[in-house]
Each structure stands twice: as C-alpha cells, then as structure tokens.
Chains A and B, each alone.
Chain A
C-alpha cells in the first residue's frame, strides 16, 4: 500500500464546474499536506499547503485536510481550461530531515 493514495483519473469536467480532487494517506506522522500542479512536460509547482487539519482558501482553490480520516481534498471553483493539468497531493512529517511523499496525481481536463 502506498503511503499516499490518489485516483489517477482522468477527470473531465465542463468549464465553470466545481472540481473535487481527493487523496488518502496512511502515515499518522504526516503533518504538512500539499497540492502541486503539473502541466504537461513541466515540473510540478506548489499550489497550496496546509498544516494539520483544517481548510485553506486561495482564490478559486480550497484545500481541506481531515486528519481523523486521513483525507486530503482540493476544490477548484469556477474551473477554467487553464486549470487542465495533473494535480499531485503530497504529505510530509514534522521535524528533522523529512521526505515529501507524493500521490500518483490526478489528471484533470476542463473542457471549454
């Protein structure tokens, strides 16, 4: 079992839809949770990060973490064709030298 599980998709939605992307994780030591966006043939770029449980909003993007159920979510409101990319969730433990563990990524296509 991978430490961070994510449905690879692909997920196709019409422009303007609300998108929900989800991950589960198994390592209780994870404290930091991130979403990276990767456009085709590019490197991943950090979109959002949250510490422990809770919500974080940035424009059209909202990240949620529920540590009790080990569930990570990213919501995209009013999705745009430019949001078409692969979204990778990631998690990190606290303290010392920790490695970031990535999910496999969900490929999202927003259709105009």
Chain B
C-alpha cells in the first residue's frame, strides 16, 4: 500500500556519470514534484508536473531533466554528475487543490564521489 515510492533508495556514483531516479505514486494525484534536500537539510523544489505538463521549473542546471510518462510517474535524469549534486532527492505528489497537501516519498540518497 505504498503511496509514493522511489528507486533506488541509495545511489553512489562517480563524478561525470549519468544516473536516473524513478518515482511512482498510487494516490491518484495529478501533480508530482522533485525536491532536493542538501546537507543543511534545506528542502528546495526543483520541478513540478501537473498531468504530465511541466508547471514549475526552478533554477536548476540543465543537467537535470525530469520526465513524466504518465501522471503516476515522474523520473529524474541527471547528466554529468558533480560533487555538489550529492543530496537527498525527494519525490512528492498532491492534488492540485488550494492547500496543496503533499505526500513525500522516502527519498533517494545520492552520493557523488
């Protein structure tokens, strides 16, 4: 009965590699998000999709490319990984209602060596 799931949970990779993180939600929500939580625990939005359409695109390097094949999935592909990309990446989903209650996944801890 997992609500928002992410794979993998942990990702350790070398600088310069390309990697992907997958996210799926079974809540029937129409909006999904990617957040980055850095070492200082600051949670910052990166992207948001509503019904497969990009609606929020914060100032993120274009090495990061989200893809939403359907409204239950939002994947994140990262090219040419850098040391500063090390963080925990959270996927979230919500209905597009005024209060915007977001349900978060367990996070993917990315370490770039």
State the A residues within 8 Å of B (CB): 8, 32, 34, 41-46, 49, 51, 86, 88, 92, 94, 97-100, 102, 104-105, 107
- Which chain A positions have C-beta within 8 A of B101? 34, 46, 49
Q: How many A-B residue pairs have CB under 8 A?
A: 57
Q: B43 an interface residue at 8 Å Cβ cutoff?
A: yes
A44 to chain B: closest residue by CB? B104
State the B residues within 8 Å of A (CB): 4, 40-45, 48, 50, 55-56, 58, 90, 92, 96, 98-107
B100 to chain A: closest residue by CB? A92
Complex CA gap A75/B101 in Å reads 20
B92 to chain A: closest residue by CB? A43
Contact at B48–A99, with CB atoms within 8 Å?
yes
Contact at B99–A32, with CB atoms within 8 Å?
yes
- Which chain A positions have C-beta within 8 A of B50? 97
Q: Residue among B4, B103, B104 with the most chain A CB within 10 A?
A: B104
| Complex partner residue of A86 from B41, B98, B106, CB under 8 angstroms | B41
Contact at A43–B100, with CB atoms within 8 Å?
no
Contact at B104–A43, with CB atoms within 8 Å?
yes
23 contacts between A and B (CB under 8 A): A8-B40, A8-B41, A32-B100, A34-B101, A41-B107, A42-B106, A42-B107, A43-B92, A43-B105, A43-B106, A44-B104, A49-B99, A51-B99, A88-B43, A92-B99, A94-B98, A97-B56, A99-B56, A99-B58, A100-B100, A102-B42, A102-B43, A105-B42
